Amino acid sequence: MAVKTAARQEPVKLAKPGSWKRNFQRYKALYFLAIPLVLYFLIFNYAPMFGLLMAFEDFKPARGFFGSTWVGFKNFIDFFTAPNFLEILRNTFVISALGLAVGFPLSIVFALLINEIYVKWFKKSVQTISYMPYFVSTIVLCGLVIEFCSTNGLITNALVSLGLVERQNLLQNPKYFWAINLISDQWQGLGYGSIVFIAAITNVSGELHEAAAIDGANRLQRVWHITLPGIKPMVVSMLILKCGMLMTVGFDKILNLYNTAIYSTADVISTYVYRVGLNGGRYGYGAAVGLFNSVVNLILLLASNAISKKYAEQSLF
Amino acid sequence: MVEKLTPSRVIFNILNYAFMILFSFACVIPIWHVLMASLSNPRMLMANSGIIFKPLGDITLDGYRMVMSNKSIITGYGNTILYVVATTVIMVLGSLVGGFLLSHKDFKLSLPLALFIMVTMMFSGGLIPGYMVIQSLGMLNTPWAIIIPGSINAFYIMMMKSAFDQLPAAYEESATIDGAGPLTILFVILTPLLKATVAVIIMFNVIMQWNNWFNASIYLPKRRDLWPLALFMREILINNDTSKIATQQDAENASNMTANLVKYCVTIIGTLPLLCAYPFAQKYFVAGVQMGGIKG
C-alpha cells in the first residue's frame, strides 16, 4: 500500500517544471469536469455575493444593477436608525438564544435518559418516534400551531381550563410568541438534536463503567464521572457550532406564524428582509440588512471557531 | 451490564419509562388528532373542543373525496415529485463530481477548488441578490428557478469528499492500470461503493424539497400550475383560503364546516408519505446526522 502510494506521487514530482501543464495533460478529464461545477458556483453563489454591492445603491429595478446610483452607507444608516431596529435585533437574538439555552441541554438530557433504557425494542421505538416530528413539514407544523393556538384551539382550551391564560388567539398576543415558537421548535427538533449525543454516549467505553461499578460507584456517579466527560468533546464542538449561528433565525417558520399584531416580538432580521426588502420593493435596503446579518454571522462563526481551536483543540477550518 | 436493582434504581426506572411513554405520546398525538379529525363527521367536529382519539361519528372520507377531486392538490403532488426527482439528480451528480475532484490529491486544482466551494458555506449573497440573479437569468416563473439554484451545494460536496477520502486508493489505481478513464472510475467503480452516502444525500433532499414552499412563492408567483404541494398547502393551512378547494356548492352549504375538514385532510395528504417512509429510511437519516455538516 505504502509503496503504491509513493509510486503514484512520483510522476507529479518529476513534472515540476511546467507542472500545471503536465498536470492538465494527465488529468484533462478532471479539468473538464470542473468547468460546469465552477460555472454553477460562479452563477448561483458568487454572482449574488457580487450583487451584494446593491446594498450601497439606491437600487431601481428599471435602471438595473449597473444603472442605479451609489449612495454609500445610506441603506445601512437607514436600518440602524429605523424605529424597529433594536426590536428586530433583540428578537433575532432572543429567539435563537432561547432555542440554544433550552434545546441544547434538553437534547443531552434526553440522550442520557434514553441511554438508561435497557429494553431494546422499547428504546428503539421511542427513538424512532422521537424523529417523527422532524418529518412533519414546516407548513403542516405551522398549520397545527395556528389551529391549536386559535381562540378555540386545543392548547388554548387546555391553558384556559388551567387558568393560565384568558381566552384569546394566542398567536395574536406578542407576549406568547417566543414560548410558542420555542415549544414548537423543541417538539420538532428534540429527537433529531439528540441523535449525535446518543451516538457519542454509545461510544463511551463500557469497561470504564464496569470498573467504576466494581469500585462501588452508583449510576448517577458514573454518569457524572464517566459518561459526561466521555461526550464532552462532542458537546463542546456542537455548542461552539451553535454559538456561531446565534444571529441566524430562519424565516421559514416565523413567516408562517407571525402577523401584524405580534411583529413586536416575532419580527426577525430574515423576515424583515423578506417583507420590507423583497415584498416592499426596497431591494437595496433589503440587501443592506441581509449583508449586515451575513457579516455578523461570519464574525460569530470565525470567533467561535477561534475559541474552539484554543479551548476544545478542534476547529471547523 | 446487569444492573443491581436498588430501590432508588427502581423508582428511577419507573419514572424514566413513564417519561418516555409520555414523550412518545406528545410526538404522535398532534398528527393522530388530525388523522382522526379528518375522518370525522364535520358537524360533530365543529362542536368538539378536545383531543380526538377516534373518529367522531361514522367514519367518513368525504373530506378526502373533496380534496382529491380538486385539481390543485393533484397538480401540486405532480410538481413536487418532478422537483424532487430533478433536484435529486442534479444534487447527486454534482456532489459526486465535486467530491471526486476535491478528494483527488494529485489533481492540482483540487485545493483551489475546495477553497472556492467552501467560501460559499461561510458567506452567501442572501435573499435579495439571489433573487436578482434568478430574475436576470430569466428564470422567474419557470420550473428552472426551483430545480437549478441550490441543488448543488457545498455541504453535500464536502460530505461526498470525505466519503471518497475513506475509500482505499487501490480501487482507482487498479482501474487506471486497466485503462479506465476518470468518468468510468467515478460512476462505474467508485459510486457503487458510496451508496450509503448517496442515500443520505437523497433523503435530505427529499425532505427539503417536500417542505419547500418559499422558493416557489417568490419565483413562481404567476404560475399556479407549477406550484409544489407545499405552496398549495400553505394557501389552505396558513392563509386559511379553502375557497379554491371546496366546490361552489359546498361553499354555499356549510363553508366553515367543510373548510375545517378539508384542512385536516390536506394536512394528512401532505404529511403521510414522509411519515410512512421515514421509519425505513431511518438508518440513513441517523447516519447522515452523524456525518455532521447538515444544518437542522
Which CATH number covers residue B80? 1.10.3720.10
Domain boundary among the residues B9, B37, B60 is at B60
The per-residue pLDDT for B134 is 95
| Rounded Cα–Cα distance for residues A42 and A36 (Å) | 10
Q: Is B85 on the interface with A (CB under 8 A)?
A: no
The per-residue pLDDT for B160 is 92
The per-residue pLDDT for B293 is 45
A52: which 3 cell numbers?
451584494
Do B214 and B278 belong to one domain? yes
For the cut 70, the answer to whether the pLDDT of residue B248 exceeds it is no
Do B110 and B249 belong to one domain? yes
Beta-bridge mates of residue A97: none
> What range defines the domain where residue B203 resides?
63-296
What digits encode the pLDDT tens for the residues B120-178?
A: 988 888 899 999 999 999 999 999 999 999 899 999 999 999 899 988 888 888 888 88
Q: Which residue type sits at B82?
A: L
| Rounded Cα–Cα distance for residues B88 and B94 (Å) | 10
A193: which 3 cell numbers?
438534536
Partner B, chain A 30-49, Cβ-Cβ below 8 Å: 30-31, 33-34, 36-38, 40-41, 43-49
Beta-carbon contacts of B150 under 8 Å, excluding residues fewer than 6 positions away, are A44, B87, B215
Do B214 and B268 belong to one domain? yes
Q: Which residue type sits at A43?
A: I
Nearest to B274 by CA among A203, A138, A147: A138
B16 with A29: Cβ contact below 8 A: no
Share of chain A above pLDDT 90, in %: 51
**A1, A12, A135: residue with CB nearest B278:** A135
How far A50 CA sits from the closest chain B CA (Å)?
7
Give the chain A residue nearest B21 (alpha carbons): A126
What digits encode the pLDDT tens for the residues A192-232?
A: 899 889 988 888 877 888 888 888 888 888 888 888 888 88
B182 with A29: Cβ contact below 8 A: yes
Whether A198 and A127 have beta carbons less than 8 Å apart is answered as yes
Do B281 and B179 belong to one domain? yes
Do B7 and B21 belong to one domain? yes
Do B56 and B190 belong to one domain? no
The per-residue pLDDT for A65 is 84
For the cut 90, the answer to whether the pLDDT of residue B185 exceeds it is no
Q: Is A206 on the interface with B (CB under 8 A)?
A: yes
* Coil, helix or strand at residue B279: helix
Do B23 and B164 belong to one domain? no
| Rounded Cα–Cα distance for residues A167 and B145 (Å) | 44
As a dihedral over the C-alpha atoms of residue B10, residue B15, residue B21, residue B23, rounded to 10 degrees, the angle is: -150
* Coil, helix or strand at residue B139: coil
**B108, B122, B285: residue with CB nearest A301:** B122
Do B107 and B52 belong to one domain? no
Mean predicted confidence (pLDDT) in B109-117: 92
Beta-carbon contacts of A113 under 8 Å, excluding residues fewer than 6 positions away, are B16, B19, B20
pTM higher than 0.95 for the full model?
Answer: no
Give the chain B residue nearest A279 (alpha carbons): B218
Q: Which three-class secondary structure string do you get for chain A?
A: CHHHHHHHHHHHHHCCCCHHHHHHHHCHHHHHHHHHHHHHHHHHHHHHHHHHHHHHEECCCCCHHHHCEECCCHHHHHHHCCCCHHHHHHHHHHHHHHHHHHHHHHHHHHHHHHHCCCCHHHHHHHHHHHHHHHHCCHHHHHHHHHHHCCCCCHHHHHHHHCCCCCCCCHHHCHHHHHHHHHHHHHHHHHHHHHHHHHHHHHCCCHHHHHHHHHCCCCHHHHHHHHHHHHHHHHHHHHHHHHHCCCCCCCHHHHHHHCCHHHHHHHCCHHHHHHHHHHHCCCHHHHHHHHHHHHHHHHHHHHHHHHHHHHHHCCCCC
Residue B187, burial from CB neighbour count under 10 angstroms (0-12, 13-18, 19+): middle
Q: Please, what sign has the CA dihedral across residues B7, B9, B13, B16? A: positive
In what helix (H) or strand (E) does residue B98 lie, and over which residues does it extend?
A: helix B71-103
Domain boundary among the residues B60, B80, B100 is at B60
Total tally of structural domains belonging to chain B: 2
Mean predicted confidence (pLDDT) in B96-105: 91
Mean pLDDT of chain B: 86
Query: Over its length of 317 residues, how does chain A's per-residue pLDDT go in tens digits?
Result: 344 444 454 454 555 655 788 888 778 888 899 999 999 999 999 999 999 999 999 988 888 888 888 999 999 999 999 999 999 999 999 999 999 999 999 999 999 999 989 899 999 999 999 999 999 999 999 999 998 998 888 899 999 999 898 899 999 999 999 999 999 999 999 998 998 899 888 888 778 888 888 888 888 888 888 888 888 888 887 887 788 788 888 788 999 999 888 999 999 999 999 999 999 989 999 999 999 998 998 898 888 888 878 876 766 66
Domains of chain A: 78-312 (1.10.3720.10)
A49 with B129: Cβ contact below 8 A: yes
Phi, psi of B222 (to 5 degrees): -100, 0
Do B158 and B212 belong to one domain? yes
What digits encode the pLDDT tens for the residues B53-86?
A: 988 888 888 889 888 888 888 899 999 999 999 9
Q: How many helices (H) and strands (E) does chain B have?
A: 14, 0
Q: Which residue type sits at B141?
A: N
Do B78 and B52 belong to one domain? no
A314: which 3 cell numbers?
478542534
Whether B112 and B106 have beta carbons less than 8 Å apart is answered as no
Give the chain A residue nearest B153 (alpha carbons): A41
Whether B209 and B90 have beta carbons less than 8 Å apart is answered as no
Do B82 and B201 belong to one domain? yes
The per-residue pLDDT for B242 is 65
Q: Which of B127, B153, B290 to mutate to test the interface with A (most CBs of A within 10 A)?
A: B127
Do B67 and B25 belong to one domain? no
